[in-house]
Amino acid sequence: MTDGSTDNHWLALRRLERSAVKVACCVLRGADRSNADRLLDTLNEDVRLFLESETRKHTSLLIEDKHEDLDKGHGRIETRTCVVSSHIDWLTQKSDWAGLKTIVMIEEQCDIKGKLTTERRFFISNLPPKAQLIAGAVRSHWMVENNLHWTLDVVSNEDTSRVHKEHAGENMAIIRHIVLNMLNQAKSAFKGVGLKALRKKAGWGNNTLSYILKQSLT
């Protein structure tokens, strides 16, 4: 992989319910599931404190790159600033994450008719310290995830799910993704039938269900 390409770098980016840190193709070494949340919470706090401290300085030698995007439209002005550092030898968890190269902060300021809101998100990455590259990768990922989330909510009412106990929520999310992929594979045979209607049709008739299952196995 070259530094100029984000292919495969961010495929493992996933939303972490208990942490503002997003993980990009950095594999956590030797931690069991029960310990992972604690490690992520600690990592989130360490990354946040470091990057917020460095960005408050008039000049920081540890922030290697910075990129800013500005979007305007419909009475909304949104500014996204990405700052990146590869100075991570101080990070106590560095050896726990295979491929870790950079830590990232993206600050989003949104002005809607004079009302200003600010949100900061933090990332770890195996990408080089190039802010524009990383900002583009993050934005592309969230566009894909937001579209997927919308589809899952329409098809499976994901937002109303109350399945959260232990790992049940994560398990159900995996099942919903599998079902969505199976429906997408079979939908070409059902002209004019949306994914939500096709899911219901599969529940109402074994013929439809059998066809969807067979398509997923071919």
Domain ranges of the chain: 21-139, 168-217
- DSSP assignment of 21-87 equals EEE-S-EEPS--HHHHHHHHHHHHHHHHHHHHHHHHSSS-SS--EEEEEEEEETTEEEEEEEEEE--
Nearest to 9 by CA among 185, 201, 152, 141: 141
pLDDT at position 85 is 95
pLDDT at position 81 is 94
pLDDT at position 84 is 94
Select the highest-mean-pLDDT range: 18-22, 81-85, 143-147, 184-188. 81-85
**pLDDT single digits (tens) 113-156:** 888 899 888 888 888 899 998 888 887 766 655 566 566 665 66
Distance CA 43, CA 55 (A): 18
- Give the residue-averaged pLDDT of 169-194: 79
To the nearest whole number, what is the mean pLDDT of the chain? 76
Q: Kindly report the CA angle at 33 between 182 and 155, in degrees rounded to 5?
A: 25
- Give the residue-averaged pLDDT of 197-205: 83
Beta bridge partner(s), residue 22: 123
Nearest to 80 by CA among 53, 115, 107: 107
**pLDDT single digits (tens) 31-89:** 555 566 667 778 888 999 999 999 999 889 999 999 999 888 777 898 999 999 999 99
pLDDT at position 20 is 40
Percent of the chain with pLDDT over 90: 20
- Model pTM? 0.59
By DSSP bridging, strand 76-85 and strand 102-112 are: antiparallel
Taking the CB of residue 23, how many other CB atoms lie within 10 A of it?
22
Distance CA 211, CA 214 (A): 5
Distance CA 195, CA 187 (A): 7
Which whole-number Å values give the CA distances from 66 to 7, 121, 139, 167, in the listed order?
A: 21, 15, 15, 37
- Give the residue-averaged pLDDT of 2-27: 40
Q: Which has the minimum average pLDDT: 13-27, 29-43, 50-64, 190-204?
A: 13-27
pLDDT at position 112 is 87
- The one-character DSSP state at 134 is H
- The one-character DSSP state at 18 is T
